[in-house]
Amino acid sequence: MSSLNLDDFTDLIERPDGGVRRDAEERRERLVVPPGALGRLDELGEWLAAAQSSVPVRPIEQPRVVLFAGDHGIAELGVSARPAGSASELVRAVLAGESAVSVLARRLGVPVRVVDMALDCDPDSLPGDVVRHRVRRGSGRIDVEDALSIEEAEAAFRAGMAVADEEADAGTDLVVLGDLSVGGTTAASTLIAALCGTDASVVTGRGGRHIDDLAWMRKCAAVRDALRRARPVLGDQLQLLATVGGADLAAITGFLLQSAVRHTPVILDGVVSAACALVAQRVAFRAPDWWLAGQASGEPAQAKALDRMAIEPLLDHGVSVGEGAGALLALPLVQAAAALAAELPEADSKAE
């Protein structure tokens, strides 16, 4: 039995300041650039002002990429283009600066944090600050067994909350959220299918490395079987994460909810973060107001989840590599919106 009361988040999470947003909208009407001429950048600037409770909006000065890592037992069925248990290779590539997200983060001057929740490797093979939150070595095969015990799910959820608190306390003013996993999109697709009441074939995509038709059929069957196990526990979000999620997904869900409590805005990446956001929305309906979707990854489950939360992706460049790379590409857009909202002069002041 879990001691974690998820209902508390409903009371703890408030929406971004509506009064401040109205002030930002009124200020936007007075700027030298006509209203509507900046398109969605206007909406982003107003959203940031509300999240920060500040007009004019403050620049984003301490963004950070946070990546939760884990292996999933379901990968043993050949549902991924990567070998089962190989997520540690993704982590090492990020730490060595040799992954897509590392290159982009280096170019943008954004630090990257990796949090191991359930990698299938010796913890001594990775830095201590990466592995200190690990819950277990790999998550269970969700088509035939639970991903986690309820105690492990709570520990992972609380670890995600702790990471959110650490980032907020360190002054992080916007998080680019992603995952480093093998088999994670299968777990994520199962969660989304369960929460949206759809069949496996509707949500099953081809993953970051575009699996072939045979692997897609195996993945679809895995989601179908896991979905049968998910439906009986839909009313208990923590049990749902334990049954068909994984330690990394439970941690991301806790991270998203606690970030909303701490008023830290988050840019979501692909299907894994979208699935966790959908679970978090079930916990606290106001929480999605603190999140942006950085990009459309092409995964049908991600599109389904974002549509259910009424979140429109900022970019659609077909980036499916994962690792938070697609969401990181949206960061300059958000920073540009903040700069324009803050620095454009008002028409009256320019006339003077």
User: What residues act catalytically?
Assistant: 323
C-alpha separations of 130 from 81, 102, 317 in Å: 25, 16, 30
The torsion angle over the Cα atoms of residues 96, 98, 104 and 108, rounded to 10 degrees, is: 40
Q: Are 32 and 344 in contact (CB under 8 A)?
A: yes
Q: How many CB atoms lie within 10 A of CB 160?
A: 28
Residues paired with 295 in a beta bridge: 315
